[in-house]
Amino acid sequence: MKRQQTLRPKPNICSGYLVSYLNSPIGRREFLKPGAGSAQIVVNLTDLNKLKIPLPSDFEQHAIATTLSDADALIESLDRLIAKKRAIKQAVMQQLLTGQTRLPGFTDEWETKRLGEIADIRSGGTPSTAMPAFWNGDVPWCTPTDITELGGRKYLSGTERTISHAGLRASSAESMPSGSIIMTTRATIGECAINTVPMTTNQGFKNLIPSSCDAEFLYYLMTTKKAQLIQLCGGSTFLEIGKKSLLAFEVTLPQSHQEQQAIATVLSDMDTEIEALERRRDKARQLKQGMMQQLLTGRVRLVAPQVAA
């Protein structure tokens, strides 16, 4: 059973300041220690009582706590806004990618096509790891980790590992031109990205090179098909989609390339807005960490309000 320690600040200590200090990297380094003979982190009450905390005046404590609380409020508001924008995007995708809602100016019927009719499907492969000459070349080689680390972002511009041209020739990996849809089809199913540079993948992918549809539209469309793609999977050891099944997989899309591009532009603009908010949120988090490092050590002091004469 975990034991909890309750801290009751004395009258001259601002609880908000104390919480900020203990939650900061500085405070955590001071009072979190590994338990004896265990990797588990524990807080020893005796050591906690001996912990020395830099304390400014009561007024400055409250000012620091308020400043850090305001930073937290900004981060939380951005998190809520990002979640709202993502929910709106999902709703818009449901409407636009099914033809339930049409953009102004488009009235042509949609058509159902097999995936093999609108894209060239290529597989991945892995060169022999026993051959050093096959590795660490200048050919990007994508694994599912490269896709999941994008965190839902659309474009993939580099990979953690690379292979050589000799490794590419000696394996079943196939080179994907930039602007292809890189899609996981083994174990992790239906995670997609668009590669911005030519690259290869391992065998956990089936990759789509659009031939008669807009690549950005196809990317967004395939991100909505994960449940259907999982139904295509065979194999008792792990889920995997075969190339034959994927070639016959049917999708419904506008006949007009202009409508495909217009839909993709709307969704891309929404992605751009979300990514901008995420960058702003991440910057706010970094700024808060810097503020904690400076304010809770006294390296930077807040300016006291001037009292009018």
Which residues constitute the domain of residue 136?
110-253
Task: Give me the chain's average pLDDT, please.
Answer: 88
Whether 308 maps to a domain, the answer reads: no
Whether 1 maps to a domain, the answer reads: no
Look up the CATH number of the domain holding residue 144.
Answer: 3.90.220.20
Is the pLDDT reported for residue 230 higher than 80?
yes
What is the per-residue pLDDT for 16?
Answer: 83
What is the per-residue pLDDT for 1?
Answer: 44
- pLDDT per position as a tens digit, 72-91: 999 999 999 999 999 999 99
Whether 38 maps to a domain, the answer reads: no
Whether 131 maps to a domain, the answer reads: yes
Whether 89 maps to a domain, the answer reads: no
What is the per-residue pLDDT for 8?
Answer: 59
| Mean pLDDT, residues 151-156 taken together | 93
Whether 210 maps to a domain, the answer reads: yes
DSSP codes, the chain: ----------TTS-HHHHHHHHHSHHHHHHH-EEPTTSSSEE--HHHHHH-------HHHHHHHHHHHHHHHHHHHHHHHHHHHHHHHHHHHHHHHTTTSS--TT--PPEEEEEHHHHEEEEE-----TT-GGGEEEEEEEE-HHHHHTTTT-SEE---SEEE-HHHHHTSS--PBPTT-EEEEEESEEEEEEEESS-BEE-TTBEEEEESSS-HHHHHHHHHT-HHHHHHT-B-SSS-B--HHHHHH-EEEEES-HHHHHHHHHHHHHHHHHHHHHHHHHHHHHHHHHHHHHHHTTTSS-PPPPPPP-
Whether 137 maps to a domain, the answer reads: yes
Number of domain units in the chain: 1
Is the pLDDT reported for residue 34 higher than 60?
no
What is the per-residue pLDDT for 187?
Answer: 86
Whether 298 maps to a domain, the answer reads: no
To the question of pTM greater than 0.85 for the whole model, the response is no
